Amino acid sequence: MQIETILLIIAAFIVALIVSLYQYLYKAKRRGKRNLLFAFLRFLSVFSILLLLINPSFKKKTFYTQKPKLVIAADNSNSIAHLEKDNEVKEFVKNLKEDENLSDRFDIQYYSFSDELKDSLSLSFDQKQTNISKTLEDLNQVYKNSTAPTILITDGNQTYGRDYQYNSEQYKQSVYPIIAGDTIDVIDTKIQQLNVNRYAYLKNKFPVEVILTYSGLENVNTTFQVTSGNASVYTQEVSFSKEKNSTVINFTLPANTAGIAKYMARLLPLSNEKNKINNRKSFAVEVIDQKTNVLIISDIVHPDLGAMKKSIESNERRSVTIVRPEEVNNLDEYQMIILYQPNTRFRAAYEKISSQRKNYLTVTGAKTDWVFLNRVQNKYTQEITRQTEYYIPRYNSNYGAFLFDDIGFAGYPPLIGVFGEVNVNSNYDLLLYRSVNNIETEEPLLVSMEQGGVREAVLFGEGLWRWRAHSYLDNQNFENFDEFFGKLVQYLTSTKRKSRLNTISDPFYYGNANIKIRAEYFTKNYEFDRRGNLRIAVKNKDTEATQTIPMLLRNNSYEVDLSNLNAGNYDYTVTVVGENISRSGSFTVLEYDVEQQFLNADVTKLKQLATNTKGKTFTLDQNQILVEGLIQDSRYQPIQKSKENVVSLIDWKYLLMIIIILLGIEWFARKYNGLI
């Protein structure tokens, strides 16, 4: 308590004493014991009121016991049910919940996981993917400042993600894996992995790579074959032994017919095999009869050229050629032209593009000759300042010419462009705005235009290579940037007329992948319409079963998730309620359940996980041993903590009650004695 507050309390004591003595002793006509009682009551009430006005503060220290946290995370993937351990896992979790000693010692938090972590323990064992590494990373973020040993109930079989066996060294908590699955190796042959491109070109051959594995001690012989419909297209005899427990087969298949070519790869199972599901795998290839050719014209050497080439050719259906302006001859074989930082040497290229009505992208920058560019075309002009500026991109969520997502443009490095105002003299759609020095402007950074059936886009800045590199730093891959740039290229290579309703889907999906169909719906002015009520009707061609599902708005598109569909061939129709507009398409879901490829638990990785985190592995029948070990572990002791709060006297509600009682007693006593 501060010295000023103490002095005020002393002053309040003196004032209250003077007031009470003055009224009941100095001014009183008769003095007696009653006056001393009245003076005492008045002193207490006046002193209490003055204390409330002074409102001194006091430090209050409280003690409490904090129990260590215990995380219980159960694998909710389909492999648990496939290994017939689902009931045992539920019973194990139930026993942990009902153990009073465990709940008295720990603050228990329950989770389930598959491809992502969920803060609930609703176990259905129907999820199609498992990512143990991501589960540990998420838990590490949640409990990075706590002591939280983790009970991980799983078979240890991960279908995608980083290898948790090594990644677990970064996990700060001790992990106690509970092995849910058989730990004894049995005889099994399987298709471990099948690698094939999604696309092939008509009249060509496409490569296929298959990795076959064997677990067992005896020498065995079997046959690997690939069929298309009822026809066998490839067959090879294979042999395995204890020493030679894997083999790699490379072969090619012909692409004779355009469209979706579906195949079934089979490794004929042994007579005593337990799991025969992992002996077959479906795959498909889209056979196309042409390739999109993109021409980049540049008079300078710049990292952007390599970034654009890599990004465009990340799609195998596209190829890129880079030439200088004077090398441009015939443009007939190209579906799109990229003009990089044009100057006067590009005059002939512009004339050929105009005469052949080619779609093109113009990228400008610090070395662009804007005097020439302002003259050679009339759709946009740039103020001539001969100074450069750094422009940060800003996403336009209302862009409607084609679907593209915000890939985090606000955090991307700035592009270098010419300083000055840009005037667009044609109808255009704005993809990205400019921001300068954290000031948001309405100036365009990337626009698209369509006039007379010719599509054009303009990027007012150089430095795309920094964007692609930034995408890799953020995501450890180039996919986000390549997808964005690929959609821009797709828009510029397409000759389709604009439609108010467009759908986007892949021709085929693997059974373990997310099946999402997207649609874009526009007003009559071709502006994206967020008010639309879109529905999709999906029909199974084999069973004739039909289901209608509403599509949900996601940023600048409508989307539906059909990941629960079984393998088969499907037709779909997207309609707009209240409008006579619809679009149809088809796709195929290939049979493949990655969670059913496992025969037993991955004991080796789970033991390594426990070793890396200073934990210990257990089986589902060692419930009591696990509980006793956790309770007796000296690392997980309750901690007594103290908390000091500063409490103001005005927050003490009882003082107000005391004042009221004192004034009440004084009033009744005076009334009783006839002094009122």
- pLDDT, position 31: 63
Residues 141 and 165 in one domain: yes
The band of 497, judged by pLDDT with boundaries at 50, 70 and 90, is low
What region does 229 belong to: left with phi over 0, alpha with psi -120 to 50, or beta? left
Domain of 303, CATH number, reads 3.40.50.880
Least-confidence region, from 54-63, 142-151, 401-410, 661-670: 54-63
Whole-number Å distance between alpha carbons of 285 and 312: 20
Residues 230 and 279 in one domain: yes
All residues at 6 or more sequence positions from 284 whose CB lies less than 8 Å from its CB, including other chains: 260, 261, 262, 263, 508, 588, 590
Would you tell me how many other CB atoms lie within 10 Å of the CB of residue 26?
A: 9
Q: Residue 501: which of 471, 547, 535 has the closest Cα?
A: 535
Q: What is the pLDDT of residues 538-560, one digit of tens each?
A: 999 988 999 999 999 987 789 99
Most confident segment among 489-493, 525-529, 591-595 = 489-493
Identify the DSSP state of 53. H
- pLDDT, position 592: 66
Residues 439 and 322 in one domain: yes
Identify the DSSP state of 563. T
Residues 356 and 452 in one domain: yes
All residues at 6 or more sequence positions from 294 whose CB lies less than 8 Å from its CB, including other chains: 312, 318, 319, 320, 321, 334, 335, 336, 337, 338, 489, 493
* pLDDT over 80 at 369, yes or no: yes
Q: What is the pLDDT of residues 284-324, one digit of tens each?
A: 888 877 778 999 999 999 999 999 999 999 887 889 999 99
Residues 59 and 78 in one domain: no
* pLDDT over 90 at 462, yes or no: yes
Whole-number Å distance between alpha carbons of 475 and 172: 23
Tell me which of 549 and 4 has the higher pLDDT: 549
Residues 561 and 431 in one domain: no
As given in the structure block, the two tokens for residue 459 are: 């990027």
Q: What is the pLDDT of residues 405-458, one digit of tens each?
A: 788 888 899 999 999 889 998 888 889 999 988 888 889 999 999 887 789 999
Q: What is the pLDDT of residues 320-329, one digit of tens each?
A: 999 999 999 8
Q: Round the CA-based radius of gyration of the chain to a whole number and report it.
A: 38
- pLDDT, position 52: 80
Tell me which of 669 and 175 has the higher pLDDT: 175
Residues 584 and 605 in one domain: no
As given in the structure block, the two tokens for residue 266 are: 């089979």
Q: Domain span at residue 367? A: 292-493
Which amino acid is present at 109?
Q
- pLDDT, position 40: 82
* pLDDT over 90 at 75, yes or no: yes
Whole-number Å distance between alpha carbons of 420 and 416: 12
Residues 33 and 163 in one domain: no
The band of 248, judged by pLDDT with boundaries at 50, 70 and 90, is very high
Residues 406 and 354 in one domain: yes
Rounded to the nearest 5°, which phi and psi values hold at 143?
-115, 35
Strands (E), 241-334: 246-254, 259-267, 280-288, 292-298, 318-323
- pLDDT, position 593: 62
132-157 b/e with 16+ CB inside 10 Å = b?
bbbbbbbbbeebeeebbbbbbbbbbb
354 vs 31, 331, 376, 391, 627, CA distance in Å?
117, 11, 11, 30, 78
Q: Which of 471, 493, 515 is the last residue of a domain?
A: 493
Total number of domains in the chain: 5
Residues 487 and 355 in one domain: yes
Domain of 518, CATH number, reads 2.60.40.10
Domain of 161, CATH number, reads 3.40.50.410
Whole-number Å distance between alpha carbons of 474 and 566: 34
Residues 248 and 276 in one domain: yes
Mean pLDDT of all residues in the chain?
86
466-480 b/e with 16+ CB inside 10 Å = b?
bbbebbeeeeeebeb
Percentage of residues in the chain having pLDDT higher than 90: 41
As given in the structure block, the two tokens for residue 334 are: 């190209």
Cα 447 from chain centroid?
Answer: 28
- pLDDT, position 674: 66
Q: Which of 288, 305, 339 is the last residue of a domain?
A: 288
Residues 216 and 338 in one domain: no
Q: What is the pLDDT of residues 250-272, one digit of tens each?
A: 999 998 888 888 899 999 988 87
* pLDDT over 80 at 512, yes or no: no
- pLDDT, position 533: 92
* pLDDT over 80 at 238, yes or no: yes
Least-confidence region, from 215-229, 254-268, 344-358, 491-505: 491-505
Q: Residue 400: which of 523, 503, 483 has the closest Cα?
A: 523
